[in-house]
Amino acid sequence: MFFKKNKKEKIIAVIEISSSSIGGVIFEQKKGGSPKILSLVRSPINFLFDVNFDAFWRCTLAALEKTTTELLRDYPSGPDECLCVFLSPWFTPRTAVINIERERAVKIDKKIFQEVKRSEEEQFKKHWSSSPINTNREPEFIEHEITSVELNGYYTKMPIGKTARHIKIYLFMSLGVKNVLESIRSFLFKNFGDIPIKMTTFPLLSFSYFAYNMDLERGFILVDIGGEITDISLFRKNNIEEIISFPKGRNFLLRKIGARLKTFPQEAQSLLYAYFKDHILDEGGQKISAVIDETREEWGKSFKAGLQKISSFKPLPQNILFIGEDLINKEFIKYIELNKEEFKKFTVLGQPFQIQNITFEDLSHSVVFGLKRQADSRDVFLLMESLFANKTL
């Protein structure tokens, strides 16, 4: 693992840590081209009815072990570099907008941005530490990125060296728990060797990905329905404007089904997907259908409350993007479709949301597959993360 052949292109690993699974991919980097996917793996985190952090962490490490073992089975020499991507609940995000006004035009230099970052970081850490959930935990920054700058009211891609009286700085920051991040780094070094490891969060990664591929001026809402948590990200005017979350994801439905049918978590999932395939049509199917309707309504109310929060100062863009094609996600999306008239009040034009899904097919044409064995799933998250890593590492 430590003595690798010289390669024209780097071999890169992406490890994705979410609330319900650990994803992993190894690919051959092609700068300016399509990355070649060599291994694609996703290992579920054991589904727990009661989410206790210690048990959750043990199950997460077990899934991480399984994912890295599978990756190294496909590519024994290991990667040259690793990108570790965190999804909720493994980080706390914060966005900030800083306005600076001067009587006379000043030359923009790095010092201005450094001072802004330092001040905002201190405020964020104090706020993070004041939360009861973070008692006896030490924070560590995963990111503190300036996502956009406006000079005298105009978006400026390269502000250094220019002059302005009015400076607006958009900042995105994320904090993780230090001992968790250190444990993950230690684990990856143990398995992959002494290689560079970069850490990022999915909101910043997805923002950067779409900035490369879309016009972010008009903006859109990105929704990630995870295992335990749903994240709503508002991207607008080349900036991450807002990120909010609520604790209802796919497992919210599975727990409801398990409780109603008095069964185990894994059995609840099997029964649900059998129902989706019309394999359960008896009384059990009727119970599952009723639970889906109830859970969709509960999820929808939380989703609507989230939209109310992020639209309190300004109406929302009309476009809303969901990631992936999971059948449970489709049931939640149905809430928006069934209540489209009610959602009109949130949009800038007073029109229903235009719902789009980012699918495996949408991204698969941008990569080359060189898998030694068939991947278990059509994993749009890992493709997006690989395309980002291919361009930026």
Residues 20 and 109 both lie in one domain: no
Residue 381's domain is classified under what CATH number? 3.30.420.40
- In this structure, the answer to whether residues 291 and 254 fall within a common structural domain is yes
Residue 169 lies in a domain: yes
Q: Same structural domain for residues 247 and 144?
A: no
189 part of a folded domain: yes
What's residue 68's pLDDT? Answer: 98
Residues 6+ apart with CB under 8 A from 81: 10, 11, 12, 13, 195, 196, 197, 198, 393
Between strands 21-28 and 11-17, the pairing is: antiparallel
Domain for residue 111, yes or no? yes
Range of the domain at 149: 92-175
334 and 380 fall within a common domain: no
Sequential pLDDT tens for the chain (393 residues): 333 444 568 999 999 999 999 999 999 999 889 999 999 999 999 876 666 778 889 999 999 999 999 999 999 999 999 999 999 999 999 999 999 999 999 999 999 999 999 999 999 999 999 988 888 889 999 999 999 999 999 999 899 999 999 999 999 999 999 999 999 999 999 999 999 999 999 999 999 999 887 777 789 999 999 999 999 999 988 899 999 999 999 999 999 999 999 988 778 888 998 988 887 777 878 999 999 999 999 999 999 999 999 998 889 999 999 998 788 999 999 999 999 999 999 998 899 999 999 999 999 999 999 998 887 678 999 999 999 999 999
Same domain, 149 and 285: no
pLDDT at 5: 44
Q: Judge whether 381 lies within some domain.
A: yes
Residues 126 and 264 in one domain: no
Give the integer Cα–Cα distance in Å for 176 and 164. 35
What pLDDT sits at residue 180?
A: 95
| 1 found inside a domain | no
Among the candidates 175, 206, 231, a domain finishes at: 175
**Contacts of 8 by beta carbon, 8 Å cutoff, 6+ apart:** none
Is 280 within a domain?
yes
> Which contacts of 232-238 are long-range, i.e. CB under 8 A and separated by 24 or more positions?
232/303, 232/306, 232/307, 232/310, 233/203, 233/206, 233/207, 234/310, 234/316, 234/317, 235/207, 235/210, 236/317, 237/148, 237/155, 238/147, 238/148, 238/155, 238/211
Does residue 166 sit in the same domain as residue 284? no
- Is the same domain home to 202 and 234? no
Q: What is the pLDDT of residue 8?
A: 64
Is 288 in the same domain as 387?
A: no
Distance of CA 194 to the CA centre of its chain: 26
Residue 40 CA from chain centroid, whole number? 18
Q: How many domains does the chain have?
A: 3
CA dist 148 and 388 (Å) reads 19
* CATH assignment at residue 129: 3.30.1490.110
Please answer whether residues 47 and 265 qualify as being in contact, where contact means their C-beta atoms are separated by less than 8 angstroms. Answer: yes
Q: Is residue 2 in a domain? A: no
Whole-model pTM: value is 0.91
In this prediction, residue 49 carries a pLDDT of 61
Q: How far apart are CA 72 and CA 53, in angstroms?
A: 28
Does 225 lie in the same domain as 118? no
pLDDT at 4: 45
Closest CA to 381 of 262, 176, 231, 157: 231
Note whether 333 and 387 are same-domain residues: no
Shared domain for 383 and 247, answered yes or no, is no
